[in-house]
Chain A
Amino acid sequence: EVQLVESGGGLVQPGGSLRLSCAASGFTFSDYEMNWVRQAPGKGLEWVSYINKNGNRIYYAASVKGRFTISRDNAKKSLYLQMLSLRVEDTAVYFCARVQSTYYMDVWGIGTAVTVSS
């Protein structure tokens, strides 16, 4: 079964950091580009970051650029999001999503919740 499972979310104070992980199974992880997408409580979906198959092409949303770092380990079939200098407005459920083609996202994880609060 094709599956993505995120972990690493939690409660953190403003200015703090977290590292999210996304474990892939059921498909050849190294064959796919990946995204992180987030959803603030009661809000819509917001693309956060993209990484290509070998990790040498990376993009970020303006709202997180300079604070978040996406990476991947194809040997471990895992995607990561290092989040620094967290802000209250980063509070959201973070999903990892597989890129089918172009920018379509055909497989999503269950999400991991990040709460930034003092």
Chain B
Amino acid sequence: DIQMTQSPSSVSASVGDRVTITCRASQDISYWLAWYQQKPGKAPKFLIYAASSLQSGVPSRFSGSGSGTYFTLTISSLQPEDFATYYCQQANTFPPTFGGGTKVEIK
């Protein structure tokens, strides 16, 4: 199975900050990567697919980039509703695998 590694595991930031989360794959997954947002006690929300394509309805302050084995999720100006845990997921090879998550906390 492809291993997905996220860093950092947590980040403290303030409203208005720019936040970048990284995700590394254990092998080349081209651009087959998704990002999800999860708030406590809630279901994951699908944010980005194909590494950089925004799902419908997702605010433009979210952006994704990367290919191969290195990917990033950037929130350009953190909003109060963005405090959550973010997961990457590879969609290149079965079975789909997730990163360990990055918790974005209030500073």
- Chain A: residues with CB nearer than 8 A to chain B? 35, 44-47, 50, 59, 61, 95, 97, 100, 102-111
Contact = CB atoms under 8 A, between A and B. Distances in A.
A46 B98 contact: yes
Contact of A108 (B43, B49, B91, B101): B43
A104 B43 contact: no
Contact of A105 (B42, B46, B90): B46
Contacts of B91: 102-104
When A and B form their complex, which 3 residue pairs have the shortest distance between CB atoms, in order from nearest?
Answer: A108-B43, A103-B91, A103-B96
B41 to A, nearest CB: 9
A59 B87 contact: no
Interface of A (DSSP majority class): strand
Contacts of A111: 43
A62 to B, nearest CB: 9
Contacts of A106: 46, 49, 55
Interface in B62-107: 87, 89-91, 94-101
Interface residues of B, number: 22
Contacts of A35: 96
6 contacts: A45-B44, A103-B32, A103-B91, A107-B46, A108-B46, A111-B43
Nearest to A60: B95
Contact of A109 (B43, B46, B96, B97): B43
Interface in B39-55: 42-46, 49, 55
A103 B94 contact: yes
Contact of B94 (A59, A108, A109): A59
